[in-house]
Amino acid sequence: MKIAYLFPGQGAQYIGMGKDLYEKYEEIKNIYEKASRLLGVDIKKISFEGPEEELIQTKNTQIAILTMSLGILEVLKKNEIQAEMSAGLSLGEYSALIYSGVISFEDGIKIVRKRGEIMQENIPEGDWQMAGIIGLEDEKVEEICKGVNEGFVVPANYNCPGQVVISGEGNAVNIAMEKAKEAGAKKAVLLKTSGPFHTEKLKVSAEKLKNELEKIEINTDFNKKVIKNIDGEPYNPDDNIREILARHVMSPVKFKKSIEKMIELGADTFIEVGPGKTLSGFVKRVNKDVKIMNITDCDTLENVIVQLRERN
């Protein structure tokens, strides 16, 4: 059995996430309290009580999801469950880097908070939208975006076979959605986002994030693989990790390639660690033969621990 962890990104959040885990597991409670002390922010209150307008602020969403994922990891570690490789969707890549020891817990908490603030405060002016296109080949979606002359729109997330997220100016995104439906897309759905994430329009955010990344330590002596969003390949010690993480916010997310690479590297058991189970669905679309589990509350955490003990 070769385990791979998957860590969710922005969009997976919901009011109350992590509350039952916090109340039951001392390890998880400690992670919330440690992260809150580091930032001077009550992460549990934002996560458990909201209000939603506060939780969905990028600076809060990202740190809330990260803290929940890191708390769950502590319980898995206590139960001697470890993954040989990991990947995360956008923000989730930081969870993977912290898990693998590339970034320390303290630096990780601080840089993710700073990343959220930078992304929230530096969205360029304009009407920006993101939309999920379901049921078309990647190349067809790329072709449709290139064919829109009424504004900026590009692919931003390659999630799984037949699912690409596009990002850009509202009018251009709407035109691309109509063209996608005409081309046979099963669905074209606007997402609840407010910025042109993972596109060149976040260049200012990328530059500011690079300056912040220069302030943290990067450990290049790591033995657990982390698969990069920008190309679906593992990080290696020679990579300029700060540069990659800065470009990350303005580069398309190649999550489908990341899953394919982990399977190629021998992963046969995927565990999604954090709120929601979106990433589990992506894995199913790539390969139905691998074992897929997710941990989002006490019941699912205990189920994973029991199942993995039985398999061992």
Helix, strand counts (H, E) of the chain? 14, 9
Cis peptide before 275 (omega within 30 of 0): no
Residue 90 known to be catalytic: yes
Q: Rounded distance, CA 113 to CA 40, Å?
A: 11
In the chain, alpha helices (H)? 19-24, 26-39, 43-49, 52-55, 58-78, 92-99, 105-121, 138-146, 170-182, 203-213, 241-248, 255-264, 278-286, 298-311
> Of the residues 47, 69, 90, 100, which is catalytic?
90
Write the DSSP symbol of residue 279.
Answer: H
| Catalytic residue from among 198, 248, 251, 258 | 198
248 assigned to active site: no
Start-to-end C-alpha separation, the chain: 8
Structure token pair of residue 13: 């959040």
d(CA 162, CA 40): 42
Catalytic positions: 90, 198
